[in-house]
Structure 1
Amino acid sequence: MDTVRAAFRDECVRLEGVLRGLDAADLDRPTPCPPWSVRDLLAHVRTGAGRLVGMLAAPAPERAEVDAAGYFGAAKFAPDVDRDRIDGARREAREVPGVPEVADGFARAWRAADAAVAAEPPGRLVRTRHGDAMALTEFLRTRVVEVAVHGLDLADALDRRPWLTPTAAAVVADLLANGATPDGLGWDALTLVRKATGRVPLTDAERAVLDRTGFRWLSFGG
């Protein structure tokens, strides 16, 4: 939990700093996640970062049934679920007028989630909006993935170098590679995350190496 929570905090602090330096025109830029603009994608990230507040206010399930990799299963993100996710972010984005409100809203969301996590005992279980029962640490790992990977999308949309933090990169890479960096590729953690999440295309040779190593191909939603 300490490692995952540190990664969540580091990546959120970094993104919050980026948001406070945006201007109004930046919010309307297109992103690599169509049909979302920067404003829409940030609404999605804000909701995802703060989701644990409500989850931790609900009763805990009796046992964990899904880990972080299982949470990103393809079946969970059927077309109707994906459509609701896309439309929901766009509706929420229209309610936030400008850059200060976007930055403040994200700051409140992730800081409230971090405080809620800090108040829980070790081993706390949660139930996701999809109905999965998970260990709190495993769900927080998915939040690191969401903030970190969409941070790459935002960096591309804003024409900036990726700001992925070392702690978040390590957590995401560990999840994707199941604890072992694939041999023979020469990738750093940033390259691993970008390649494995489709942000940069894989060559046939790279895909063959990953398939031999039991690499985890995740499906992404909110």
Structure 2
Amino acid sequence: MMAPAPQPALAALAAESVRLSLALKAITAWDAPTRCAPWDAAALTAHITMTLARLAPMLDAPAPAAAAVDAAGYYRPDERFSPEVNDIRIDSAAEAARSGGPAVAAEFEAVWSAAVDRCAAEPVGRLVTTRHGDPMTLADFLTTRVVEVAVHGIDLADALGRPRWTTPEAAAHVTALLLGPGHGNALEALGLDPVGFIAKATGREDFTDAERAQVEARGITWLALG
């Protein structure tokens, strides 16, 4: 399942990053535990920042000859979720969080704004190679970044006991990735709002047996998430 066009992906990423930046300014309990153990709110924010910081070196590198992996394929269950890679992911975010929550929030704002500006200047059809060696379109990789910011934004909101702040742009973009064309009608049939659906589709909550049967019948794309 291919991701939407470059500009919708970038617009969704920008909208969700703006919203997360605003939410971060209101956080005081940076040591609040999250479902992404062992990270607290500060470490999870540092991780989100790192997922966007990867754009700059990818755009600095030569483009691959062709794309071979789409946004859904990026989340395949291979060595990128091995214990060794997970340990690096966990430790690097925890180390970055030692600078303190406000510093982590400031770093997120600097990184996302620079990334969005940089991507906006790239041509349509730009190809990149991920740190895992996946040759992708920039549009598809940006879709994975929308997933990271939106889904971990749900994790942060839940950890802090706050209403989920997921933007309509990001929710629609992620839902389109998971359910494809007609995702709005599919959610209406399920009786789920987009954010609630994303939470269930990414393992934050459980589908009922009936809901799971319906989304599988509609060809849901399951993502392997660390």
TM-score range, shorter chain: over 0.9
Native 8 Å contact 2:42 2:101 kept in 1: no
2:53 aligned with 1:54: no
Alignment RMSD, CA only?
Answer: 1.2
Shift of 1:50: 2.2
Match of residue 67, structure 1, among 55, 65, 70 = 70
2:89 aligned with 1:92: no
User: Residue deviations 1:16-54, cap 9 Å, x none?
Assistant: 01111222xx11010011111111101100111222111
User: Residue deviations 1:97-151, cap 9 Å, x none?
Assistant: 342x122100111011111101211111000010000000000000000000000
Query: What amino acid is the match of 2:120?
Result: A
**Percentage of matched positions with identical amino acids:** 50
Query: What amino acid is the match of 1:170?
Result: A
Distance in 1 separating the partners of 2:132 and 2:73: 12
Shift of 1:204: 1.3
Query: What amino acid is the match of 1:195?
Result: K
TM-score of the superposition, structure 2-length normalised? 0.92
Query: What amino acid is the match of 1:81?
Result: V
User: Residue deviations 1:34-77, cap 9 Å, x none?
Assistant: 11111110110011122211110111111001000000111132
Match of residue 34, structure 1, among 34, 37, 42 = 37
Match of residue 132, structure 1, among 134, 137, 146 = 134
User: Residue deviations 1:141-185, cap 9 Å, x none?
Assistant: 000000000000000011100000000000000001122333631
Distance in 1 separating the partners of 2:132 and 2:141: 12
Query: What amino acid is the match of 1:187?
Result: L
Stretches of structure 2 that go unaligned for 5 or more consecutive residues are 1-5
Say which SS state the counterpart of residue 219 (structure 1) adopts. coil
Native 8 Å contact 1:19 1:102 kept in 2: no
Distance in 2 separating the partners of 1:89 and 1:102: 10
Native 8 Å contact 2:25 2:105 kept in 1: yes
Match of residue 83, structure 2, among 79, 84, 92 = 79
Distance in 1 separating the partners of 2:179 and 2:85: 27
Distance in 1 separating the partners of 2:101 and 2:82: 32
What residue in structure 2 maps to residue 173 of structure 1?
Answer: 175
Distance in 1 separating the partners of 2:115 and 2:221: 27
Structure 1 outlier segments of 4+, above 6 Å: none
Match of residue 187, structure 1, among 164, 173, 192 = 192
Shift of 1:213: 1.8
Query: What amino acid is the match of 2:114?
Result: A
Match of residue 200, structure 1, among 184, 195, 205 = 205
Distance in 1 separating the partners of 2:225 and 2:197: 16
Say which SS state the counterpart of residue 86 (structure 1) adopts. helix
Shift of 1:84: 1.6
Distance in 2 separating the partners of 1:187 and 1:173: 11
What residue in structure 2 maps to residue 149 of structure 1?
Answer: 151
Stretches of structure 1 that go unaligned for 5 or more consecutive residues are none
